[in-house]
Every structure is written in C-alpha cells, then in structure tokens.
C-alpha cells in the first residue's frame, strides 16, 4: 500500500497499484485433456519461436493457414511505424473463409445460424454462404464497384451483414462498417472521409420490438455524401413506404437474388486494404483504422483458434455487432477462416425478456460464448432468476472483451453462467491490433479475476514510463508493443501524421496502446485503464479500474465509474458514479461505500464524492464514457430530476462517438 504523504514523485509516470486480487482458478482437467494447446511447454515453445524467429514462425503459419494464389517473397518488412507482411504474395480473405473450407470438405457445415429479434431463423452452410456472397459481389460489380473502392455498410445483424463484408473482400472492395445506431451525420462523415462509392443498408431493423428506419437515416446522410453513387437496400422489415431515388437506389432482391453466384475470388495483394473501421479516440474526429488482407486474416484466424480452443462440434457465439472490431474479427474473419459454426443474433438481450441470451444458449446448445463486461453487468442487475430458468450445460468456454472486467463480475460470470466449470478468457485487444493480443489459453492458464494474463505468441508487450524506461515490478505504466505482428493496423485512412503522432511518437520504435498496465509476480498482465484516465491524488497515480473494482465488490453496487476532479489540496479528488441494486441511495450507503473502498484498497483511494445514478453514460459499444463524467464531476450541470437518482444516460446521447 502506498502511503498518503505525497512522497512519491509526481513527475514519475508510474502508477501505484492498490488492489489485491489473489484468487486463482486453474483450468479444469477435463478441459485441458481435450484442449488444442494443452501444456505450458507447448505455449512456451510457440511463444519462444515467434519471439526468437519471427519470420520463420509466421512463414510456417501463413503457409499452413491461408490459401496463396501467389506465394510471397518476404515475410515481414518493418520500419516503424510502417509494416508490410507477406510482401508480394496474393490471397483473398473471402476465399480463406469460404472456398478453402468447401475444398476441405466442410461445405455442408453450418457457417451461420441466425436468429432475428422477432424469432425468425435461418441457417447457411459454408457452401450456401459462398453462393450468397458471390451473388452480392456480382451485384456490386454491376453497380460499378471494383478493387480498392470503399463500400459503407449500415446494416442490422442479419446474415446479409456478413455476406456484404465477405462480398467486398471477394472483389477487393474495402468495407467500412458503420454501426446501425449512428446518426446521419456520422454516416456522412465516414462516407466523406473514406470517399465511399456505395452504401449498403436495409429498410429497417428490429430493436426491442420497435422498427428503426435505417434507410431514412441513410437518405439524410446521402444528401451530404457526394462520393456515393449507389445505395443497395435489403428488405428486412418489409416496409413498403421506403422512398427509392431513381438511378441511385436499388433493392437487394432486384439486383442480388438473380445473380449466378459463382464469381471466383479475386487474387489480391497481401497488403491490399481489407477494411476501414472508424473508432474515436478520447478527442477529435473518428479515425479510420486501416487493416489489410493477409496479415489481418492470419491474425484473426490464429488468435481465434488459440484462444477459443475451437473444435469441429462447437457452436460458437460472439454477441458483438459487426459494427465493432470484435464483430469483424470474431464473428466473421476469425471463426469463418477456421470453419466454425457461428450463432448470430439480431436484437437486444432483453427482448422480449431479460433471458433472451440464455434462451438462445439453451436452444442452440452454444458451447463457446464471447461477450462484454457491460452485458455481464446488465445481467447481474437484471437478476439471477433469468439465468436460472435455462439449461446452460452446453457451455464449455466463456470470453470477455471490450473493457476490464471487475473481479466480482468475473466471479458471477464464472459461477452463474459457467457453472464453475468453464474457463474464462478475458481478452485484451483493440480495433488497432486487429485481434486478441493478451488472453488466457483456456487449457493451460490458471486465471485470475480481472487479469488478461499473458501475451499470445508474436506479442511482445513492454510497460514503460514516459521516457520509455521499464517501470518497477508491479507498478503500472504505459503499455506498448515492441515488435510488429501480422494483425497490426497499417495506418489511419488518409491521415499519416495522426497515425504517427497517436501511436508511434511517444515511445520511439514501439506501438503505444494508450492503455496502462502492470505485470504481477507471475508475469500476468493487468490492464489499468486508459492513460488519460489516471487519477493523481497527492502525487499518487491511481488506476480507475482498481477503485471501480473495489466499489463493485460491495454487494449493493452494480457498476462504478471513477474520475478525477480538481482539488486544491490533493491535486485531484476521486469522484465515483455508481449504479446500485437492492439498496437505498442515501447518505448512509454513501458513507458505507467510502469505508468499503478504504478497507479494500486504502485511505488514499477512498472516493471524495459518491453519486448514485440510474445509468452510466456509455458509448454505443458499451464502454463507460469517463471523459463526460469528468465534466460532470467538475460541475457541469445535469438536466432532469436529480433528487434521487441522477440519470446520466442523456449525456451519452449527446455524443455520437465510439
Ligand atoms: C479496452 C475492443 C481491459 C482497452 C476489442 C482497449 C480492455 C480498448 C479489454 C479497445 C480487456 C478491451 N481488459 N480493457 N479485456 N478489452 N479493453 O478498440 O482500453 O473497441 O484499449 O477494441 O478497450 O477498444 P476497441
């Protein structure tokens, strides 16, 4: 425990570590017995090979895992910040996800098992999926789309969303998926930044029983998107009153359904852009993160196989929307390159009731479930009875992604969903990294609640201070990646300067993740939150997640977000925003929570303010928006009735970011 005297140097960029978490869960022996990676020695060998002979290791992986129309001349060319992988080679991600599986004899395996929010269902085998992808690609060619053209996709989570992504990949068009909740303004910004030529959308989508008119939003965006020539519209809802602009708009059923569906995949350069995905940093306009074909495809596939221990009979469900990177890498490219059977669900987790996810797990006998802490915390809040109604015994592995998972939420996931028998893979990664970077390997890693444990083969993390020097053991610092990996971003679309400044200028030669982390005595990594979110109390730099986890370990607390606000005496004071269950939001609870944190992690970390809120402001992908809460903590007014519970959700609605 650091003392509160302020003796630590305030110029040091190290972060004090205050939360002690010593529970440890070895993998169940039955799991290890059948696992793809089943011994520590096997992992160590892979890790050492990748670290000591990078090019040799990835050469072998690329040959084994991807189809090559033309072999590459060189495995990797790297001069920070620019990386090229499998230089001179030609492959195709759609071929790797479809044709390669069909050629391997699994064409009749279900690729997508889909359920819409109203309960309609559809299954597509790999062979059927290829036909649909080819038809869509053939229609895109008729609409004038070719290699290198950008296609914006603004679609519900229907099979057609995956189909359009793979159809772009088939002809070398660059997809830019825009989550179907963003505003017209955001769509227009993204269309213009990328120079999109085609937008693919639908007449609407179902969300909590209501219809959202997607095409109407797209029409508004297209009025401000001069580069877009056509709009391809899927009839999802059956809305007959969708205005179609002659010469610009075409119905999917008019131009896709009648195609032959036989188009061969175009051989594409390894470094051809596969997609752009926009993500916002804490400031500024969204960045178009650019990923390329071969390296990304290989990274998505290998990380999927390593982390999810995939077997032929698995039914795998990643609950992410394809509007996020998790949907790109772990709904489409990773699992499909590996020939997995993926469940896809269109709607909300609480429609028609709070047990929809568990109903789906039971109905489709899902064996691997990959979801986010924000969902897990919602399930906890909704109550265990929704879970207990269902038979979840098909599950054998659970995953988490997107934010740190508080140890108490981890324990709930482990006990209530996993029945104490499923390993949990807490996967740390980013849009920029293309795929998972750190995660337990479920057959071998003893997990600790809240830790993403160890790096995958090919990932060389370093934790450094602002001068680039490694921090002391068990102290937090900036998490960097020291060596290139195949799935790394290749740049920000149209903004090379920002790419350098954001990721490569702070610590020369290394990729700066923007997260803080520490490594414990077992060599496990613990993500401590974003660099910008560190709170400096009397010269001690504290991690948001540690204070939040201490709060969440109190039975009355569901979710917590802490931020720093100015304090004349201490530099910064800690302001906590909490959502609660089965408790009164009163002064007594406030006092109790402060004491609870003090007991858990020390006086220094005791929040100065505790505010009870009905909801926390979140990005559309479910991350807590601490930046907004900083404004609130330092005095920004909140509209609405604040007499009992503050409602901060309206704040998030004002910010179209993710
Ligand atoms: C955070 C999502 C702790 C982190 C794949 C990262 C996590 C950012 C974890 C990237 C995790 C993601 N533990 N923090 N397991 N996974 N994060 O680009 O701050 O949406 O930098 O990619 O989410 O978010 P993005």
Q: How far apart are CA 510 and CA 504, in angstroms?
A: 6
Residue range 530-546: mean pLDDT, rounded: 92
Least confident window among 77-91, 95-109, 264-278, 624-638: 624-638
Which pLDDT value is given to residue 14?
Answer: 87
Other beta carbons within 10 angstroms of residue 447's beta carbon come to 23
Confirm or reject: Cβ of 340 under 6 Å from ligand 1: no
Residue 201 CB partners (closer than 8 Å, separation 6+): 153, 154, 155, 214, 215, 218, 231, 232, 233, 234
* In the predicted structure, residue 53 carries a pLDDT above the cut 80: yes
3 state SS of 36? coil
For residue 506, how far is its CA from the centre of ligand 1 (angstroms)?
A: 20
CA neighbours closer than 13 Å in the CB half-sphere of residue 526? 29
Binding site annotation covers 554? yes
Binding site annotation covers 565? no
Task: Assess contact for 77 and 83: CB atoms under 8 A.
Answer: yes
Q: Return the beta strands (E) in 194-295 as ranges.
A: 198-202, 205-207, 210-212, 230-234, 249-251, 268-269, 273-279, 287-292
- Which residue, by CA, sits nearest to atom 25 of ligand 1? 430
* In the predicted structure, residue 3 carries a pLDDT above the cut 70: no
Reported as a pLDDT band with limits 50, 70 and 90, residue 8 is very low
Residue where the block lists tokens 């004090």:
16
Q: Which ligand 1 atom minimizes the distance to the CA of 513?
A: 21
Reported as a pLDDT band with limits 50, 70 and 90, residue 628 is confident
Q: Which ligand 1 atom minimizes the distance to the CA of 405?
A: 13
3 state SS of 194? helix
Least confident window among 15-19, 278-282, 505-509: 278-282
The side-by-side arrangement of strands in the sheet containing 525-530 is 461-464, 477-481, 511-519, 525-530
* In the predicted structure, residue 644 carries a pLDDT above the cut 60: no
Q: How far apart are CA 340 and CA 362, in angstroms?
A: 19
Confirm or reject: Cβ of 427 under 6 Å from ligand 1: yes
Least confident window among 143-157, 259-273, 331-345, 603-617: 603-617
Q: Are strands 74-79 and 540-542 parallel, antiparallel or unpaired?
A: unpaired
- Which residue, by CA, sits nearest to atom 11 of ligand 1? 428
Q: Which ligand 1 atom minimizes the distance to the CA of 326?
A: 5
Confirm or reject: Cβ of 431 under 6 Å from ligand 1: yes
pTM, 2 dp: 0.94
Which pLDDT value is given to residue 621?
Answer: 84
For residue 428, how far is its CA from the centre of ligand 1 (angstroms)?
A: 6
* In the predicted structure, residue 282 carries a pLDDT above the cut 90: no
Task: Assess contact for 344 and 159: CB atoms under 8 A.
Answer: yes
Q: Identify which of 177, 419, 194 has the alpha carbon closest to the alpha carbon of residue 320.
A: 177
Confirm or reject: Cβ of 167 under 6 Å from ligand 1: no
Q: Does ipTM exceed 0.90? A: yes
Binding site annotation covers 209? yes
- Which residue, by CA, sits nearest to atom 15 of ligand 1? 428
Residue spans of the domains in the chain: they are 29-92+277-502, 124-266, 534-656
For residue 579, how far is its CA from the centre of ligand 1 (angstroms)?
A: 22
Sign of the dihedral defined by the CA atoms of residues 433, 435, 441, 442, in that order:
positive
CATH superfamily for domain 534-656: ANL, C-terminal domain (3.30.300.30)
Reported as a pLDDT band with limits 50, 70 and 90, residue 281 is low
Joined together, the tokens standing for residue 529 give 């939150």
Q: Do 29-92+277-502 and 124-266 agree at the fold level? A: yes
- Mean pLDDT score of the chain: 93
* In the predicted structure, residue 385 carries a pLDDT above the cut 60: yes
The domain defined by 124-266 carries CATH number 3.40.50.300: no
CA angle 477, 403, 323 (to 5 degrees): 125
Confirm or reject: Cβ of 275 under 6 Å from ligand 1: no
Confirm or reject: Cβ of 452 under 6 Å from ligand 1: yes
Confirm or reject: Cβ of 193 under 6 Å from ligand 1: no
Q: Each residue of 178-215: pLDDT tens digit?
A: 999 999 999 999 999 999 999 999 999 999 999 999 99
Q: Each residue of 223-258: pLDDT tens digit?
A: 999 999 999 999 999 977 899 999 999 999 999 999
DSSP track, 128-177? HHHHHHHHHHHHHHHTT--TT-EEEEE--SSHHHHHHHHHHHHHT-EEEE
* In the predicted structure, residue 357 carries a pLDDT above the cut 90: yes
Binding site annotation covers 174? no
* In the predicted structure, residue 578 carries a pLDDT above the cut 90: yes
**Cis status, amide bond into 81, omega within 30 of 0:** yes
Which pLDDT value is given to residue 652?
Answer: 61
Confirm or reject: Cβ of 428 under 6 Å from ligand 1: yes
For residue 544, how far is its CA from the centre of ligand 1 (angstroms)?
A: 14
Q: Ligand 1, residues 527, 618, 621, 658: which to mutate, most atoms within 8 A of Cβ?
A: 527
Q: How far apart are CA 63 and CA 75, in angstroms?
A: 11
Comparing 641 with 537, the larger pLDDT belongs to: 537
Q: Identify which of 88, 53, 274 has the alpha carbon closest to the alpha carbon of residue 174.
A: 274
Residue 262 CB partners (closer than 8 Å, separation 6+): 131, 134
Reported as a pLDDT band with limits 50, 70 and 90, residue 642 is very low
Which pLDDT value is given to residue 658?
Answer: 52
CATH architecture of 29-92+277-502: 3-Layer(aba) Sandwich (3.40)
Confirm or reject: Cβ of 96 under 6 Å from ligand 1: no
Q: Which ligand 1 atom minimizes the distance to the CA of 623?
A: 23
Among residues of the chain, what percentage have pLDDT more than 90? 86
């Amino acid at each position: 425990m650091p003392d509160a005297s302020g003796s630590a140097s305030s110029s040091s960029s190290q972060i004090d570590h205050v939360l002690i978490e010593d529970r440890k869960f070895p993998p169940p022996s039955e799991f290890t017995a059948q696992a793809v990676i089943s011994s520590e020695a096997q992992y160590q060998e892979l890790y050492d090979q990748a670290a000591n002979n990078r090019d040799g290791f990835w050469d072998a992986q690329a040959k084994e895992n991807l189809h090559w129309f033309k072999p590459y001349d060189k495995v990797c060319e790297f001069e920070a910040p620019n990386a090229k992988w499998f230089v001179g080679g030609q492959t195709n991600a759609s071929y790797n996800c479809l044709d390669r599986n069909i050629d391997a004899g699994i064409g009749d395996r279900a690729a997508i098992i889909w359920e819409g929010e109203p309960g309609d269902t559809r299954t597509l085998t790999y062979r059927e999926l290829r036909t649909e992808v080819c038809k869509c690609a053939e229609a895109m060619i008729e609409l004038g789309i070719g290699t290198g053209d950008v296609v914006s996709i603004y679609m519900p989570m229907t099979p057609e969303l995956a189909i359009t992504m793979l159809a772009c990949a088939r002809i070398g068009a660059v997809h830019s998926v825009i989550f179907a909740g963003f505003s017209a303004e955001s769509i227009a910004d993204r269309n213009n930044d990328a120079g999109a030529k085609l937008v693919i959308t639908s007449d609407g989508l179902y969300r909590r029983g209501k219809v959202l008119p997607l095409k109407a939003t797209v029409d508004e965006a297209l009025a401000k998107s001069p580069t877009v020539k056509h709009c391809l519209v899927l009839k999802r809802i059956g809305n007959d009153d969708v205005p179609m602009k002659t010469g610009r708009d075409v119905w999917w059923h008019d131009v896709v359904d009648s195609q032959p569906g036989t188009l061969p995949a175009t051989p594409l350069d390894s470094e051809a852009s596969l997609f752009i995905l926009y993500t916002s940093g804490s400031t500024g306009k969204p960045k178009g993160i650019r990923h390329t074909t071969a390296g990304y495809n290989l990274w998505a596939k290998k990380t999927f196989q390593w982390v999810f221990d995939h077997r032929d009979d698995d039914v795998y469900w990643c609950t992410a929307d394809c509007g996020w990177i998790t949907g790109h890498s772990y709904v489409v490219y990773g699992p499909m390159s590996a020939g997995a059977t993926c469940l896809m669900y269109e709607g909300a987790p609480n429609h028609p009731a709070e047990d929809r996810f568990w109903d789906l797990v039971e109905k489709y006998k899902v064996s691997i479930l990959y979801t986010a802490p924000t969902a897990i915390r919602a399930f906890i809040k909704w109550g265990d009875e929704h879970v207990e109604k269902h038979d979840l015994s098909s599950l054998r592995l659970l995953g988490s992604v997107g934010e740190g998972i508080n140890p108490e939420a981890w324990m709930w996931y482990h006990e209530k969903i996993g029945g104490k028998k499923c390993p949990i893979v807490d996967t740390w990664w980013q849009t920029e990294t293309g795929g998972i970077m750190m995660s337990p390997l479920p057959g071998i890693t003893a997990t600790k609640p809240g830790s993403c444990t160890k790096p995958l083969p090919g990932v060389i993390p370093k934790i450094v201070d602002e001068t680039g020097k490694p921090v002391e053991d068990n102290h937090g610092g900036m998490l960097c990646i020291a060596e290139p990996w195949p799935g790394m971003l290749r740049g920000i679309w149209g903004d090379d300067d920002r790419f350098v400044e954001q990721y490569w200028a702070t610590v020369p030669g290394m990729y700066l993740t923007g997260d803080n982390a520490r490594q414990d005595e077992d060599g496990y990594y613990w993500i401590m939150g974003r660099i910008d979110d560190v709170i400096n109390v009397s010269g001690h730099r504290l991690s948001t997640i540690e204070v939040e986890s201490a709060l969440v370990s109190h039975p009355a607390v569901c979710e917590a977000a802490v931020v720093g606000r100015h304090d004349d005496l201490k530099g910064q004071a800690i302001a906590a925003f909490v959502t609660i269950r089965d408790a009164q939001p009163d002064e007594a609870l406030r006092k109790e929570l402060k004491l609870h944190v003090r007991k858990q992690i020390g006086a220094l970390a005791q929040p100065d303010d505790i505010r009870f809120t009905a909801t926390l402001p979140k990005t559309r992908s479910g991350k807590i928006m601490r930046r907004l809460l900083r404004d609130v903590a330092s005095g920004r007014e909140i509209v609405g009735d604040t007499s009992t519970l503050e409602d901060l959700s309206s704040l998030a609605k004002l910010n179209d970011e993710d």
